[in-house]
Structure 1
Amino acid sequence: MEYEIKNQFLTVKINSRGAELTSVRSVNSDTEFLWQADPQIWNRHAPVLFPIVGRLKNDTYQYQGKSYQLSQHGFARDKEFTLLKQENDAISLVLRDDADSLKEYPFHFELVITYRLLNNLLTEQLSVRNPANEAMYFSIGCHPGFNIPVNNQLKKSNYYLQMLPSKDHIRIPISKETGLHDWAKRTIAATDTPIELNDELFKNDALVFELKEATKLSLRSEKTSYHINVTTENNPFIGVWSQYPQTANYVCIEPWWGLCDDVNADGDISKKRGIIKLAPNEEWSGKITIALHD
């Protein structure tokens, strides 16, 4: 089912399948900010990643002596969420564990995704509650894809990404072949200057950076007023990705609370790098703010 929230600046559509944003459109100009899921290139818009981010080594993990399998980014993006509350400019949807989820993820959970509009800002809040009497382990992330408008005057290469505060960040390499990271081969990336967009930028998969503080990642061009700012507060990692080798006029800006497996991972989910341990009857939350200008 598709839901809609709106204000005087933006109209936003959300699919109950995956609680996924499917459209973020300007009321005044009718500009569509969100990638429209071309099935020939990338057939998603803005999936929620849960209970893992990225890929597991051999798509397998262990917990309390048992092995389980999870595909890349987990199952939430393909599950049907239930409406909790809807207002004109806000909506909350919930996903809870069920018999099917417990076969691949042996934890009880309540995942709530809330979208809220304030002027030209869209916030996405992620909340995870552990209703059980034992700790649960999870990772979570946002994966919105943003359009890069091109025309006779504008090319993809006219756009760039800028990270603020302006400083170098640690980059974590991801293998396109395995989908795993190699923590031992982290490098310092020159993110104190704009990152110019081009198709070759993602030939080795996503650019993944470690964050130590609140960060704003801005998609913009000097040739147009169109730009998008994604501001994060407490996520330790952020990914930037677009399809390669296909040419696609979009880029994903992905705040993550977790990582794909390391090449040397032993499979124990409780020891997984970036994993969140949530105590019984406790709740975790994270939020991103997206500012949209056209």
Structure 2
Amino acid sequence: MITIQNNKLKANFNELGAELISLINLETEKEIIWNGNPDFWGGQSPVLFPIVGALKNEQYIFEGQTYELPRHGFARRRTFNVKNSSDNEVNFELKSDEESLKIYPFEFSLEIKYTLVEKKLTVSYQVKNLSEKEMYFSLGAHPGFAIDTENGLNYNDYEISFSDDEKLEIHPLVDNLISNETQTIELDNKTLLLSYELFSKDALVMTTMKSRELILRNNKNNHKVIFTFSNFPYFGIWAAKNADFVCLEPWQGIADLENHNQELTEKFGILKLEKHQDWKADWAVEIE
């Protein structure tokens, strides 16, 4: 386990997947991240790479060859190297190797840097195309935030406010693929009330959400988490059935559409990176 800390926050990470597994507010000793109870969901904050969501039949086609990739890709199951670290910052790196090239035919470097400043944790991603050809990929974040249901509180006491949206256009998931239909959720003063029923049909997937700042708030004690992100055009909100957490997920890419032809280069939301070029994105969480 890798730890970084300042006088406000303490964060722990697993080298497997370079995953954030704990973020503690040192002033209140309150844990911000979901505990990873496998009875509900064993993840905590996995990185989704080189795809987000599921592929049709867990397969894609590139240059006439068929490859298989599991849902959300393979990076979350690989051990990252610690490239460098200090008291309040750590930088992880994953590079392509012989095993990855069998299922994803691109040479790459993926770096994830975590930085603490005051009461904010910033997570920065850099993907480098080390191939001599164009590289196609998606990347997504999947942090799960703990919902406090003790001391008279319950899940319905929490809400998410959106900086720039009056309503949300949702793409329902059908067998883990994106439906051709859409549904609309009307927000109350740009606010979504949380409930276990909200995720009864899986994640809320959005490709047109305008907000780049969300606030997860307890409306009884005003405990809140301010979540911001950049260079991620899509977004998902999800929780497992009856579990006391909610995931706020900025994405570059989504699951396959129901009618997708499985060609990687034609996948909705896929990003094309020219040889020897890089791509960057980030998200941050600030505790109040």
Normalising by structure 1, report the TM-score: 0.94
Q: Is the 8 A contact 2:129 2:275 kept in 1?
A: yes
What letter corresponds to residue 186 of structure 1 in structure 2?
Answer: T
Q: 1:242 — aligned with what?
A: 239
Give, as a single letter, the amino acid of the residue that structure 2 aligns with 1:20.
E
Paired AA for residue 199 in structure 1? Y
Pair 1:255-2:237 in alignment: no
Please state how far the C-alpha of 1:213 moved relative to its aligned partner.
4.5
Distance 1:144 1:78 in 2: 16
Partner of 2:99 in structure 1? 100
For the structure 1 residues 228 and 94, does the alpha-carbon distance in structure 2 shift closer, same or farther, using more than 3 Å as the test? same
The separation in 1 between residues aligned to 2:129 and 2:233, in whole angstroms, is 21
State the distance in 1 between where 2:93 and 2:211 align.
27
Q: CA deviation at 1:269?
A: 0.4
Give per-residue Cα distances to partners, 1:191-242, cap 9 Å, x unaligned. 4532111111111100112246451121112211321121112211110000
Residues 1:9 and 1:211: Cα distance change in structure 2 (over 3 Å): farther
Instruction: Tell me the residue number matched to 1:271.
Output: 266
Unmatched 5+ residue regions in structure 2? Answer: none
- % identical aligned pairs: 34
**After alignment, is 194-203 or 105-114 more displaced?**
194-203
State how far apart, in whole Å, the 2-side matches of 1:64 and 1:16 are: 33
String of CA shifts for 1:162-201, please: whole Å, max 9, x gaps. 11124323322212xx10002x312443245321111111
**Code of the aligned partner of 1:170:** E
Is the contact between residue 143 and residue 252 of structure 1 (CA under 8 Å) also seen in structure 2?
Answer: yes
Q: Secondary structure at the match of 2:177?
A: coil
Q: Deviation per CA, 1:127-167: give whole Å up to 9, x if none.
A: 10001110000000000000001124211111111111243
Change (3 A) 1:265 1:21: same
> 2:22 matched to which residue of 1?
23
The answer to whether the Cα contact below 8 Å between 2:9 and 2:119 also exists between their aligned partners in 1 is: yes
CA 260–168 in structure 1, closer or farther in 2 if over 3 Å, else same: same
1:285 to 276, 280, 287: 280
1:87 and 1:211 mapped to 2: Cα distance?
A: 38
For 1:255, the aligned partner's letter is P
Alignment length, in residue pairs? 287
Letter in 1 for 2:163: L
Question: What stretches of structure 1 move > 4 A for 4+ residues in a row?
Answer: none
Residue in 2 aligned with 1:223? 220
Deviation string 1:235-282 (CA, Å, 9 cap, x unpaired) is 1111000012xx211011101010000000100000000000000000
How far apart, CA to CA, are the structure 2 residues paired with 1:138 and 1:56?
13
Q: Does residue 1:13 correspond to 2:12, yes or no?
A: yes
* Counterpart amino acid of residue 185 in structure 2: A
> Does the Cα contact within 8 Å between 1:15 and 1:21 map onto a contact in 2?
yes
In the other structure, the counterpart of 2:65 is 66
Secondary structure of the corresponding residue to residue 287 of structure 1? strand
**Pairwise CA RMSD:** 1.2
| Superposed counterparts of 1:1-294, under 5 Å | 2-175=1-174, 178-182=175-179, 184-191=180-187, 193-211=190-208, 213=210, 215-244=212-241, 247-293=242-288
Q: Which amino acid aligns with 1:207?
A: L
Q: Distance in 2 between matches of 1:275 and 1:90?
A: 30
Indicate if the aligned counterparts of 1:169 and 1:210 stay in contact, CA closer than 8 A.
no
| Contact 2:171 2:181 (C-alpha < 8 Å) held by counterparts | yes
Q: How far apart in 1 are the matches of 2:181 and 2:144?
A: 27
CA distance in 1 between partners of 2:210 and 2:170 (Å): 15
Take 2:154 and 2:26, find their aligned partners in 1: how far apart are those partners?
25
- Classify the secondary structure of the residue corresponding to 2:178: coil
